[in-house]
Amino acid sequence: MSQTVCLALTGASGMPYGLRLLECLLAAGCRVQLLYSQAAQIVARQEMDFELPSRPADARATLLARLQPADPELLAVYGREEWFAPVASGSNPPDAMVVCPCSMGTLAAIAQGLANNLIGRAADVVLKEGRQLVLVPRETPFSAIHLENMLRLSRAGAVILPPSPGFYHHPQQVQDLVDFVVARILDQLRVPHQLMQRWGA
């Protein structure tokens, strides 16, 4: 049985990571519950010339047209205040959640338990229910506040996975660097992939 992954896109730089991860999760047969912030819409436009509509139904249609997954039913998209979404309750948590890219504001809100939107609430649910939470914080340098928030979340059981690509696989294009990071996220979720050759293989 395939797992259910909640994927949240927030307003940090790094939207290519998030959309590539979405593509790979759907290709692997995972059910994806997608959440996105208003700032994520701005970043998608700035970094990828991609218009992510405000209405969840329109966003879903746009993403399906762009990614063309084999099974469109695997993707569900929820609005920021859609409190009846499955991810809002511990009675129906996803198997895992990834925030990619993760802004420092979102990271701080999760670290402090501020569930004032659906992304924060979903992360709160995942942590309290003992499910896997992977945060991909895209910022540099990190301040002491950022680091303390990350440490707090790590102690609570979250995985902190900065998008820091390696170069031992001799990347030839930007997509190779994106795939390196997405591969590390998929490994944390135990989702099979063929994005790159493994070390020593």
12-64: pLDDT as tens digits: 999 999 999 999 999 999 999 999 999 999 999 999 999 999 999 999 999 99
Helix (H) or strand (E) holding 185: helix 174-189
**Number of separate domains in the chain:** 1
Residue 106 falls inside a structural domain: yes
Residue 147 falls inside a structural domain: yes
* Spatial contact of 60 and 82, defined as CB atoms under 8 Å apart: no
Residue 165 falls inside a structural domain: yes
Lowest average pLDDT, out of 11-20, 149-158, 166-175, goes to: 166-175
Task: Give, in order, the Cα–Cα distances in Å from 135 to each of 11, 56, 80, 200.
Answer: 13, 23, 18, 27
Residue 43 falls inside a structural domain: yes
* The predicted structure's pLDDT at residue 170: 92
User: Domain range for residue 74?
Assistant: 4-189
For the residues 133-137, what does the mean pLDDT come to?
98
Residue 124 falls inside a structural domain: yes
Cα Rg of the chain, angstroms:
16
Rounded CA gap, 102 and 119, in Å?
11
Residue 198 falls inside a structural domain: no
* The predicted structure's pLDDT at residue 200: 84
- The CATH number for 77's domain is 3.40.50.1950
pTM across the whole model: 0.96
Residue 194 falls inside a structural domain: no
Does the pLDDT at position 150 exceed 70? yes
